[in-house]
Amino acid sequence: MRLRREARPAVEVGRGESVLAWATTSAGEVLAGTRDAVYLAGDRIPWEQVEAADWDRDAEVFRLSEVGRWGEERREHVHALAEPGRFLELVRERVTASVVLQRHVAVSGRRGLRVIARRAPRGNGPVDWFFEYDAGVDPDDAEVRAVADAALQAARDDVGAG
């Protein structure tokens, strides 16, 4: 007996990219992932620009938030998916592959900040650096800025980005 494979969806992707996994929303839109980016209902988001992705199995809702600047609202994409298939596996693998370094540094007590380095999973792009601050940590505080600057320099040294 021969198994039928589901036809690859007609998703317009970037030059040199091919769809590796996909899912269809309850509204009939196709979400797809390539080696370089995720395509969400017409939006192309490089993997290194995905801050987080979450799947709520009970509600059958996929949620993805983009990287942003501290204090600014992050762009979020929410889609109902009945059958996510391999799409969720690809999202997890590609987002994880984009993280070069993630380190928590205490400022006072347990609270502090995270220094995060991200790069395209292919490894051919520049490293982008971000800070994420724990609740109650003021990024404008002089002590916090000093700790952040020192942590960023140490992290750059560790990954050879001087």
Q: What is the pLDDT of residues 40-99, one digit of tens each?
A: 988 999 999 999 999 999 999 999 999 877 667 889 999 999 789 899 999 999 999 999
pLDDT of 3 above 70:
no
How would you class 26 by CB atoms within 10 Å of its CB: exposed for 0-12, middle for 13-18, buried for 19 or more?
exposed
Domain 21-97 fold: PH-domain like (2.30.29)
Choose between 10 and 98: higher pLDDT.
98
Contact 114, 102 (CB under 8 A): yes
At 109-118, the pLDDT tens digits run 889 999 999 9
Confidence (pLDDT) at 4: 45
Question: What's the chain look like in SS3?
Answer: CCCCCCCCCCCCCCCCCCCCEEEEECCCCEEEECCCEEEECCEEEEHHHEEEEEEECCCCEEEEEECCCCCCCCCEEEEEECCCCCHHHHHHHHHHHHEEEEEEEEEECCEEEEEEEECCCCCCCCCEEEEEECCCCCCCCHHHHHHHHHHHHHHHHHHCCC
Domain range list for the chain:
21-97, 99-159
